């Protein structure tokens, strides 16, 4: 499998890249900083320079050409303002969706956020987190309305604790936290399992192994 990860230097993305590379997949990580190249190479991931905000359609298509799947793992990040939530968390995800159509990449896995399923309505003076949730919600809606083979993963609060490999995973779960490493493991499992196409789900740390949790999710199909 040839997988392209947008936001390839992020913490979840790097966990995912290492997991996929370790099992023999070809992984490309989209980065905008040349200084991040060596980090990805040491992970076994091919770095591809692409500024997700500034790149045009041709650059996006070239970056993902020949891929079997794309994973949107980018984000404006902590400390960024409302404007970058729109240009990265929504805008870059939408550009990647267009590029996936143009390049013939059918599989698209989105890292979203718990809360994006019911974002707060727009109000004057909204805080940045509310803007972020609306941006993620808009990106999710466009992907889910598309003709791609999509899966939307909405993790709870992210931590840097070691992953335990056990989760609570369903269309809706109680709010909680989850290790970034476990989010990456869920994404790797989703990429392996075509039964997850067309599913949107929340995930936090829990009692169930990732394979069993995904089996339960798709059991109603």
Strand duo 177-179 + 46-49: pairing: unpaired
Return the minimum-mean-pLDDT range out of 119-123, 130-134, 170-174, 210-214. Answer: 119-123
| H/E element, 103 | helix 93-103
- pLDDT score of 177 more than 80: yes
Residues constituting the chain: 221
Q: Does residue 90 have an active-site annotation? A: no
Question: SS3 of 70, please?
Answer: strand
pLDDT of residue 128: 83
pLDDT of residue 82: 66
Rounded mean pLDDT of the chain?
94
Mean pLDDT of the region 10-26? 97
**pLDDT, tens digit (0-9, with 9 covering 90-100), for 136-158:** 999 999 999 999 999 999 999 99
CATH of the domain at 129: 3.40.50.720
Helix 93-103 to helix 128-144 angle, to the nearest 10 degrees? 20
Mean pLDDT of the region 73-78? 78
Q: How many domains does the chain have?
A: 1
User: Model pTM greater than 0.75?
Assistant: yes
- pLDDT score of 125 more than 60: no
- pLDDT score of 80 more than 80: no
Q: Which of 60, 90, 108, 132 is catalytic?
A: 132
Q: Which residue segment(s) compose the domain that 16 sits in?
A: 2-218
Distance CA 119, CA 145 (A): 18
């Amino acid at each position: 499998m040839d997988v392209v990860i947008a936001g390839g230097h992020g913490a979840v993305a790097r966990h995912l890249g290492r997991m996929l590379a370790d099992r023999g997949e070809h992984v490309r990580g989209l980065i905008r900083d040349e200084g991040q190249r060596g980090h990805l190479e040491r992970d076994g991931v091919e770095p591809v320079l692409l500024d997700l905000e500034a790149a045009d359609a041709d650059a996006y298509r070239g970056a993902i050409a020949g891929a079997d799947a794309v994973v949107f793992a980018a984000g404006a990040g902590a400390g960024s303002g409302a404007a970058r939530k729109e240009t990265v968390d929504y805008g870059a995800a939408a550009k990647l969706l267009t590029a996936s159509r143009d390049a013939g990449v059918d599989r698209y896995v989105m890292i979203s956020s718990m809360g994006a399923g019911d974002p707060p309505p727009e109000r004057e003076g909204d805080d940045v987190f509310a803007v972020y949730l609306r941006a993620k919600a808009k990106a999710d809606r466009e992907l889910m309305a598309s003709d791609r083979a999509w899966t939307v993963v909405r993790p709870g609060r992210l931590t840097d604790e070691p992953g335990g490999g056990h989760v609570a995973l369903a269309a809706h779960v109680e709010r909680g936290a989850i290790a970034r490493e476990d989010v990456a493991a869920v994404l790797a499992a989703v990429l392996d399992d075509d039964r997850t196409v067309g599913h949107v789900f929340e995930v936090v740390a829990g009692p169930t192994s990732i394979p069993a949790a995904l089996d339960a999710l798709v059991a109603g199909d």
